[in-house]
Amino acid sequence: MKKILLVLAVIATVVSCKKEENPHVANADCGSCHTTEQSQWASQANLHALSATDVLANADHNTEELLIDDCLKCHSTFQFPLGVAHFISPVDQIGSPAGTWTVKNAGDWKATNCEVCHDPTSTNTLKLAKYGSLLDGNWSAGYIKISELPNAYQKILSLSTGIITTYTYPDQTDPAVQATKLCLSCHDPADRGEEPEVIIDSINYGPQGGDSRSYVAENHKGFNCTDCHTPHSFEHVNPTTTTACMSCHTGSKTGKVHINHM
């Protein structure tokens, strides 16, 4: 019995050391296999990979709106507990000297890592993380219901009549639906800020969020973020060459997807 316990103790020590010597490195380990996705995600053309300087030292933004800790919920999700003052000085709308801000502790900045959307330990399809709640609300460990998403996600617009109706997405388990819920954790169509009103053919649809979809055109109902935006580069798909679109989109034919992208 003592020999068995001794062997188990040795195994436990080896496993423990193995973990310490090779810890999972966020946004790095994934690229050893997913090279294409990692390259697309890390590209500076992808706003999700912006540095602390790009995000926090933007003079145009900072003079218009005060940086707060909640900014990190999306821009550096896992570093939110550190607070914005950990990364930028001063935390005001003037700067020092006026119009300039100094980035601190840039090495702690994590931007949007792979793990924000993918949980390496998950058994879900595509290992999607379960950040189901909007980040300006209560955090939830599970995917929220469609009915709990912002109204703009649930509304369908008829371009011919201008009538907006509610649409209930039928497939709650489809990966594209779950991916859309992840996107909406940060890209909240209800967070309209100072966005201008949208007027089309004399119909005023009100202010539309600039970060996300708001009122999907009727012919695209049921579509999700990843149907039109490639998941890692976020380039728009070409409707004339994408199989799912080609039955309707031929030649130069285009269609409106949602109001704030018209």
What is the rounded distance in angstroms from the CA atom of residue 131 to the CA atom of residue 128?
A: 9
Residues found in the chain: 262
- What does pTM read for this prediction? 0.74
What is the rounded distance in angstroms from the CA atom of residue 68 to the CA atom of residue 91?
A: 8
> pLDDT class for 228, splitting at 50, 70, 90?
confident
Q: Which residue has the tokens 């929220």?
A: 144
User: In sequence order, what are the residues at sequence separation of 6 or more whose Cβ sits closer than 8 angstroms to the Cβ of residue 247?
Assistant: none
| pLDDT score of 138 | 59
**DSSP string across 69-87:** GGGHHHHTGGGGGG-GGGT
Q: How large a percentage of the chain has pLDDT more than 70?
A: 69
Average confidence (pLDDT) over 147-153: 69
| pLDDT score of 223 | 81
Lowest mean pLDDT among 38-42, 81-85, 137-141: 137-141
Average confidence (pLDDT) over 3-7: 37
Lowest mean pLDDT among 44-58, 179-193, 213-227: 179-193
First to last CA, the chain: 73
Q: What digits encode the pLDDT tens for the residues 21-46?
A: 555 666 667 888 889 988 888 876 78
> pLDDT class for 129, splitting at 50, 70, 90?
confident
Q: What digits encode the pLDDT tens for the residues 186-220?
A: 877 666 555 667 776 777 766 666 667 777 888 88
Q: Is 165 helix (H, G, I), strand (E, B) or coil?
A: strand
Alpha-carbon torsion, ordered 107, 110, 111, 113, to 10 deg: 150
